[in-house]
Structure 1
Amino acid sequence: ELGEIQTHLADLPGITQAAVLIRDDRLIAYYVAEPDAVPDFLLLRTHLPDHMVPSAYVELEALPLTPNGKLDRKALPTPNPAPSSGTYRAPRNPREEVLCTLFGQVLGIDTPIGIDDNFFALGGHSLLGVTLVERLRERGVSIDVRTLFSAPTVASLAAAAGRATVAVPPNLIPTNAVAITPDMLPLVDLSAEEVESVLTQIPGGVSNIADVYPLAPLQEGILFHHLMTAGGGDDVYVLPVVLRFDSRKRFDRFRSALQKVVDRHDILRTAVLWEGIAEPVQVVLRHAEIPVITLRPEPGGTVVERLLAACPPVMDLRTAPLVRLHVTEPDEGQHLHAVLQFHHMIQDHTALSVVLEEVRAILDGRENELPPPLPFREVVAQAHLGVPQEEHEAYFACLLGDVTEPSAPYGVLEVHGDGSGVAQASLPLDSALSGRLREQARRHGTSPATLFHVIWSRVTAATSGRDDVVFGTVLFGRMHAGAGADRIPGLFINTLPVRVRGGSATVAEAVSGMRDQLADLVVHEHAPLSLAQQLSGVPARTPLFTSLLNYRHSQDFDEASGTGTVLEGIELVHAHERTNYPVTVSVDDTGGAFTITAQTAASIDPQAMCELVSVTAEHMVVALESAPGTLLHRVEVLGETERRRLLGEWNDTAVEVGGRGTLHGRFEEQVAATPDACALVFGEERVSYGELNARANR
């Protein structure tokens, strides 16, 4: 069969010569290509079964020949193992050499990387993408982040390198300032009167103010929701982390280390002000002490329930730091619990990992090894100056302009709750299914996150009764955040809409379209959600979407259960975020398996939602494996048990119904029983059952 494989290989566009042989139980293809040609080896899969597709490809300037002009098979080089699809082309210039080296370093791959290797097919994801971008910047190579998602190969990244980053104006407030004037604040437009209003709201005034700048997009949304619910209940954005310490001494060392981390980073010493000024600002204090409050929990309930009940679930955003520690007295074994509270205004999931890593370094005596802290103002500047407002407007107007109704699973539209009535359930995805899903992501040149977005679009369509759906996705927010974004604490994530028209799309088309849409969305990761809402056709007081998908990489602790060991002598007992959306589905990727976690409004069963995602994932993978031309809206969302219950128990139309069981029969019964009761009101007229029946008979 080698001759057949060789014939198909030689027929590919751009290939002039080809040879195929078996070496070390591997099927190796050798070829000579036209100048600048990039053959598409995936086309072989349309002509050959999987076992006949080569595992590696080697490009040569010419096939080696024997003295009598025949192919010299012994002279063909043995290729290095290719880590992705098997295609291997060596780097052709210094820039590609740098990229191949960094791919291997960032992804932890020892085997050589070729220029056709795909970052995501090799196991890359958004967090590693930030690291790659940062490493490239350190080497003097600037890349377009969108290319990393839409064409994530070494060759395409090398071709796209060179995009400039935003020049961020410096902080002009001197360390020993005795006055602050508007011209010292280049990132925000404040009058002298507004600056004075800010000064009067900060303890210590001028001497305690290090910087002033506007809010990032998601911070604006959080402030809006905070002000809407002020005084009306819990703050859904106060994030509690319950820790268990093996001694008071351990707690004191932790508190001291955490204070040093707060001292290092401006965002952790930030207050948010909005009174007396035209637009909200965040003010960085030079010093802000973490308050430590003694807890005296009431009896009853679990430890976590008692601790959380004893902690005020609200924070004053005007008072820095937006970090608090509540601690119990030691028990008989000298163990104690503490509740570490952050406000979401200054912290996201990745930022918590950054903070804990720095606390660990300080406790281990490695404080001097920590890199210099980078200001959050860089992030804000990139968000406001990076992509022009007109580009954001054009993108979202095109994506959402004709969307006139929200996509609301189960018809629930309330998106301004405080999260207090939210129910939660988790479901680990079958390990075999997880592996198959990763394989299909690799085969389609994308990440598992893309597949889960398509899966969730199908569930959203099924539960909202729509083929054209919009839902929210949580963006990492660090792709265009500037140098060092991977090690800056703070709120980077953003929530933006994704749209899937599933009526006529096949599953393969849906995956390809989602891959491209997420790549486009990364460019707009700092756009405000309010802007997308305004540019849609949905009425102003109606939410654009009511469900959220959060795909996250969770390797620091068990995200599904919210437990784990974070530092020596310190156990993480509880760490759950709440949501104000009626439906939030989080996909926790631990590098091997996946866990589905659903947080839902009280009227929606979170366990059933997890099962819908799991079943849909199974059927989606089957379709991609065997029938990628299957229409997306034909992918099943119900398991066999649920399908039997729905069709066989709740909607069994085969049951014989007598005359009196029909609608008109029941109506006749009601007429006979209560002929004088009111049956119909029309304007001023009230008609009884008897009169209505008489009119009908006439």
Structure 2
Amino acid sequence: RVTSRLRTELGHELPVRALFETPTIAQLATTLGTSAAVDTTAVRRAERPAAVPLSYAQERLWFLDRMDPDGNAYTVPVALHLFGALDPAALEQALHQLAARHEILRTRFAEGADSAPAQVIEPTGSLPLVQVDAGDWDDVDLVAALHQEASRPFDLAHGPLARAHLFRLDPQQHVLLLSMHHIVTDGWSYRIVARELDELYAALRERQPSRLTEPALQYADYAIWERSWLQGELVEGQAAYWREQLAGLEPLDLPTDRPRPAVRSSRGATHTLNLPDTLTTALHKLGQDHGVTTFMTLMATYQILLRTYTGHHDIAVGTPVANRNRSETEDLIGFFVNTLVLRADLTGNPTLREVLNRTRDTALNAYAHQDLPFERLVSELAPQRDLSRTPLFQTMLTVHGSTTDISHCWQLAGLDVQTLPLDDTVAKFDLTVSATEAGPELTIDFTYSTDLFDASTIERLATHFQHLLTAVTTEPDTRLDDLDLLSPDERRRILHEWNDTTAPYPHDRTVHQLVEQQARLRPEAIALVQGERRFSYRELNERANQLAHRLRESGVHPDTTVGICAERSPELVIGLLAVLKAGAAYLPLDPTHPTERLTHLLTSTDTAVVLHHPHQTGLAASLGGTLLALDDPTTAGHPTTDPDPVAHPGSLAFVLHTSGSTGTPKGVQITHRNVLRLTHNTRITDTTPDDVFLHLNSIAFDASSYEIWTPLTTGATLAIAAPGRTTTETATHDIHTHRPTVLLLTTALFHTLVEESSQALAGVRHVLTGGEALSATHVRTFLELHPGSAVVNVYGPTESTTMATCFTCRPGSWEGPVPIGRPIDNTRIHLLDPAGRPVPIGVTGELYLGGDGLARGYHHQPALTADRFVPDPFTPGARLYRTGDLARYRPDGTLDFLGRTDDQVKIRGHRIEPGEIDARLLEHPAVTASTTVVREDTPGDKRLVAYLTTNSTNPPSTSEL
């Protein structure tokens, strides 16, 4: 009896040996064997209340239906192709009798004065058969009519909630379309409809009384009984189990192709996967060997797949149960299905075999506590309601045996009946995986929300699922972190084709050598301009040469650093070039930064010489070391000839400090080769001598290296913005003044300019922007206003010399969020999982960067360098920088940026580690705890806010902190 009940409930056989070997099975057997029977006497129809309540299952569908914007998510249609001599009158009368036998087919759902829905049963009613002459229709017309009718919404309040249409193709061919709202039917019910319709039709056709007996109960009786039975200790016991099982459950965020809409719709599509017979046979053998069902194997494998796709180890998947574990309900039409949530804990890097065992225990315990209706469970757990997703789980898995697949249960006396597929798919969840077993065949349908996913994404997911199923059957002792989902073709594409970025550039030269070359080729061309001041390449080179000779006298040499503390000016640029000509590396010092920070940078890099503006003598003096004014008149007495070269392409060009999580800034060491790989990168922009670049950013910001050295090493003009803090007003003025053709803006400044001063950007050929998420709306607005321009979304940390990827935005070139693009020339990109393996297309991974832009490491921090600059497992002898950024591949190889693995944030393009701020605040003796977060109270205006506690009754002031 228990085995029969299990087969009925699960839709497939459970290995008999498991009944006696697994304690949980014994518990399940006891539960099923002692389930309360429906007391038919206590629920006689005469005792019904005036307003019949909904069953708990119906109550859930009532609310879900009201949330469905399309109104057809819960329509359950079946289309039957009938071959042979049909008696339409008998069929119509059979449908009438079917409705007379089952009140649920005459039920509608009205909202009472207290806003609670109730069942309203019409005392009489029928299921009319609408007949349509389709004799002159072609297949396209028929399919369109079926789809239109099958997707027509139902009105729960007014009914009817069941419809029948008969399309006559010719005397020997008809198509019968039955449509019901899910609130009055389920898959089991359709099998009852099929059985009784066949019996009634046969009896009417032969003019004989049917053999069907009067139903002992109606669905309304069951609903009343369920409400009275599910009370007290029974509910509390079941609820206690589920509260413990699902405590702390978070929504599962599958990586989607499009942002999740505020209100989910039911628009969907289906991809079908037919497993090879050999794999199906292997799955069955695995079940026999391990005492698990096909459902358990598929569930375990699916949850492993979701772990890979989401990076989460806590995976919840819904699964339906027929909820007909009482003999009194087996012949009732109605919606009985309950939903269970199977939660997997995949921590600890278990083997596939261990996951199978965990899944078996979880499933059996869930079946033993299946009486609690899902709606009651949601009420008990009270998760935060979100109209964009379903509560508790967002993806479902079902398994149908040949006996539970309703497509095989239809027959009508004297007719050959074939089920027709209906392609109007509705997606009740983000993704539903439905497996159907038919003998040796196992077919898996992936029904997905088309609001969220592309067809190609689900096709890849299905391929990965099959790959995992193969691994489960052939290598069950493999640990999860050792699984590899990539096919050979996908591996080749990800590792090699998309990293084929080798391109020529002057890798054997230094930055200043290329500037000297431009001075020889185009000596009178304008190199620098600020306001009315102009410097030719000859003047720039000669002034820098004189200062470089002076610096050499001061003892600088390759791989030493020279501090430069100055505002934007031609003298600043001359000083940077002079440091490189002298063979040293420059250490940018922003004069607006706190003196304490600047002093720390000088001390930590052993910098002895500092270049400065004359009016900043006081600040420079406070920093210590040897001071040289950028326009010291004594420098003019030095030679104007190029100094003998002492630096080489691998020598340091500059050291730039970024935020550090421990409170200590990190000095990134950038070489000449690193810089030239950036400045001569045609994937970013094709620079010509006619271009004008605007130096708008602080030299302590890595973007300045692109702004300054790209024009000067390629013969273009560098326009220098006015000194001081850059605002929307000052940026607009500088752009109007200098009319740049290439402009590098922080994302925040780009957004503001598009909103407030877009005309200022007219004539800019390429607007490069990066540092934060780029608004697609702002990009489209800019492109509409300036059709001849392009926006280049750039991404890259300082450790990869400012830029590692780029995406050129042109009208119609992308959908959804703006991607960060593909690797620029001579750059390698790898997306790796926590175990260091490449992730499949569409799956989130940590971004690793390699190639000629990779910095030498962190200055005087070998341990940190070793931690972040790791060996490249795919290129012997090479290194990769571990960014801590999360991304994923689109099918064409472009990258979407998805966030961080840590707390690092970006504000107005600046990389900030909140831990650095917390560490500094905790140095105050009165501060006992601190946490720093980003707030955006005004859209687009991000602010850092530190929250702290003190141990003093007189806490420190804000200014002191």
Given the alignment, which residue of 94, 101, 116 partners 1:279? 116
Given the alignment, which residue of 243, 250, 253 partners 1:404? 250
User: 1:349 maps to what in 2?
Assistant: 187
Give yes or no for the alignment of 1:485 onto 2:329.
yes
Given the alignment, which residue of 200, 224, 236 partners 1:362? 200
Given the alignment, which residue of 172, 179, 185 partners 2:48? 185
Give yes or no for the alignment of 1:429 onto 2:292.
no
Q: CA deviation at 1:684?
A: 12
Q: Work out the CA distance in 1 between the residues paired with 2:27 and 2:741.
A: 81
| Identical columns (%) | 19
Query: Which whole-Å deviations, capped at 9, do the CAs of 1:587-610 have from their partners, x for residues lacking one?
Result: 112243210101112223233332
User: 1:92 maps to what in 2?
Assistant: none
User: 1:510 maps to what in 2?
Assistant: 355
Sort the Cα spacing of 1:436 and 1:679 in 2 relative to 1 into closer, same or farther, 3 A: closer
The answer (yes or no) to whether the contact 1:467–1:502 under 8 Å persists in 2 is yes
CA-based RMSD of the aligned residues comes to 4.4
SS of the aligned residue for 1:597 comes to strand
SS of the aligned residue for 1:410 comes to coil
The answer (yes or no) to whether the contact 2:58–2:183 under 8 Å persists in 1 is yes
Given the alignment, which residue of 275, 289, 293 partners 2:126? 289
Q: Work out the CA distance in 2 between the residues paired with 1:468 and 1:691.
A: 37
SS of the aligned residue for 1:336 comes to strand
User: 1:444 maps to what in 2?
Assistant: 290
Give yes or no for the alignment of 1:218 onto 2:57.
yes
SS of the aligned residue for 2:475 comes to helix
User: 2:799 maps to what in 1?
Assistant: none
Sort the Cα spacing of 1:371 and 1:578 in 2 relative to 1 into closer, same or farther, 3 A: farther
Structure exhibiting the larger radius of gyration computed from Cα positions: 2
Equivalent residues, number: 520
- The amino acid across from 2:62 in the alignment is L
Q: CA deviation at 1:371?
A: 4.8
- The amino acid across from 1:185 in the alignment is R
Sort the Cα spacing of 1:608 and 1:251 in 2 relative to 1 into closer, same or farther, 3 A: farther
Given the alignment, which residue of 454, 466, 476 partners 1:604? 454
User: 2:472 maps to what in 1?
Assistant: 620
Q: Work out the CA distance in 2 between the residues paired with 1:148 and 1:488.
A: 32
Q: CA deviation at 1:445?
A: 1.6
- The amino acid across from 1:647 in the alignment is L
SS of the aligned residue for 1:254 comes to helix
- The amino acid across from 2:418 in the alignment is E
Q: CA deviation at 1:271?
A: 1.8
Query: Which whole-Å deviations, capped at 9, do the CAs of 1:229-281 have from their partners, x for residues lacking one?
Result: 3xx43411112222233478433322322322222223223222223245222
Sort the Cα spacing of 1:573 and 1:683 in 2 relative to 1 into closer, same or farther, 3 A: closer
The answer (yes or no) to whether the contact 1:422–1:601 under 8 Å persists in 2 is yes
User: 1:572 maps to what in 2?
Assistant: 419
**Aligned residue runs from structure 1 range 648-667, under 5 A:** 648-650=496-498, 658-659=677-678, 660-661=680-681
Give yes or no for the alignment of 1:457 onto 2:303.
yes
Sort the Cα spacing of 1:396 and 1:124 in 2 relative to 1 into closer, same or farther, 3 A: closer
SS of the aligned residue for 1:364 comes to helix
Q: Work out the CA distance in 2 between the residues paired with 1:413 and 1:684.
A: 23
SS of the aligned residue for 1:484 comes to helix
Query: Which whole-Å deviations, capped at 9, do the CAs of 1:285-326 have from their partners, x for residues lacking one?
Result: 332211333447898835222332256611122345421112
User: 1:227 maps to what in 2?
Assistant: 66
**Aligned residue runs from structure 1 range 32-71, under 5 A:** none
- The amino acid across from 1:305 in the alignment is A
Q: Work out the CA distance in 1 between the residues paired with 2:768 and 2:197.
A: 80
The answer (yes or no) to whether the contact 1:503–1:633 under 8 Å persists in 2 is no
SS of the aligned residue for 2:315 comes to strand
Q: Work out the CA distance in 2 between the residues paired with 1:535 and 1:260.
A: 41
Q: CA deviation at 1:401?
A: 1.5
Give yes or no for the alignment of 1:586 onto 2:434.
yes
Q: Work out the CA distance in 2 between the residues paired with 1:440 and 1:341.
A: 39
Structure 2: which 5+ residue stretches go unaligned? 506-676, 685-702, 712-716, 719-739, 762-766, 771-801, 803-908, 911-961
The answer (yes or no) to whether the contact 1:478–1:485 under 8 Å persists in 2 is yes
Q: Work out the CA distance in 2 between the residues paired with 1:691 and 1:154.
A: 64
User: 2:218 maps to what in 1?
Assistant: 375
SS of the aligned residue for 1:539 comes to coil
Q: Work out the CA distance in 1 between the residues paired with 2:192 and 2:20.
A: 24
Q: Work out the CA distance in 2 between the residues paired with 1:585 and 1:638.
A: 21
Structure 1: which 5+ residue stretches go unaligned? 1-98, 107-118, 133-145, 175-183, 187-194, 199-211
TM-score (norm 2): 0.48
Sort the Cα spacing of 1:403 and 1:515 in 2 relative to 1 into closer, same or farther, 3 A: same
Q: CA deviation at 1:431?
A: 0.9
Q: Work out the CA distance in 1 between the residues paired with 2:21 and 2:219.
A: 25
- The amino acid across from 2:419 in the alignment is L
Query: Which whole-Å deviations, capped at 9, do the CAs of 1:465-487 have from their partners, x for residues lacking one?
Result: 212111221222223xx223333
Query: Which whole-Å deviations, capped at 9, do the CAs of 1:107-141 have from their partners, x for residues lacking one?
Result: xxxxxxxxxxxx98xx88624789x9xxxxxxxxx
Query: Which whole-Å deviations, capped at 9, do the CAs of 1:392-432 have from their partners, x for residues lacking one?
Result: 4322221222223434353865595443x312121111111
Sort the Cα spacing of 1:641 and 1:473 in 2 relative to 1 into closer, same or farther, 3 A: farther
Q: CA deviation at 1:341?
A: 0.9
User: 1:11 maps to what in 2?
Assistant: none
- The amino acid across from 2:351 in the alignment is T
Q: CA deviation at 1:359?
A: 1.5
**Aligned residue runs from structure 1 range 655-694, under 5 A:** 658-659=677-678, 660-661=680-681, 669=710, 674=741, 678-679=745-746, 681=748
Query: Which whole-Å deviations, capped at 9, do the CAs of 1:448-501 have from their partners, x for residues lacking one?
Result: 11111101101222222212111221222223xx22333322212223322111
- The amino acid across from 1:274 in the alignment is E
Larger relative contact order (Cα-Cα within 8 Å, sequence gap ≥ 6): 1
Q: CA deviation at 1:333?
A: 4.8
**Aligned residue runs from structure 1 range 466-545, under 5 A:** 466-479=312-325, 482-504=326-348, 505-533=350-378, 539-541=384-386, 543=390, 544-545=392-393
Give yes or no for the alignment of 1:337 onto 2:175.
yes
- The amino acid across from 1:573 in the alignment is L
Q: Work out the CA distance in 2 between the residues paired with 1:607 and 1:300.
A: 28
User: 1:201 maps to what in 2?
Assistant: none
SS of the aligned residue for 1:550 comes to strand
User: 1:24 maps to what in 2?
Assistant: none
Give yes or no for the alignment of 1:126 onto 2:10.
yes
User: 2:613 maps to what in 1?
Assistant: none
User: 1:67 maps to what in 2?
Assistant: none
Give yes or no for the alignment of 1:301 onto 2:140.
yes
SS of the aligned residue for 2:175 comes to strand
Q: Work out the CA distance in 1 between the residues paired with 2:64 and 2:368.
A: 25
Q: Work out the CA distance in 1 between the residues paired with 2:293 and 2:82.
A: 38
Q: Work out the CA distance in 2 between the residues paired with 1:223 and 1:656.
A: 65
Sort the Cα spacing of 1:258 and 1:640 in 2 relative to 1 into closer, same or farther, 3 A: farther
Q: CA deviation at 1:153?
A: 7.2
Give yes or no for the alignment of 1:170 onto 2:57.
no
Q: CA deviation at 1:368?
A: 4.3
Q: Work out the CA distance in 2 between the residues paired with 1:475 and 1:155.
A: 18
- Would you tell me which structure has more strand in proportion to its own residues? 2
SS of the aligned residue for 1:401 comes to coil
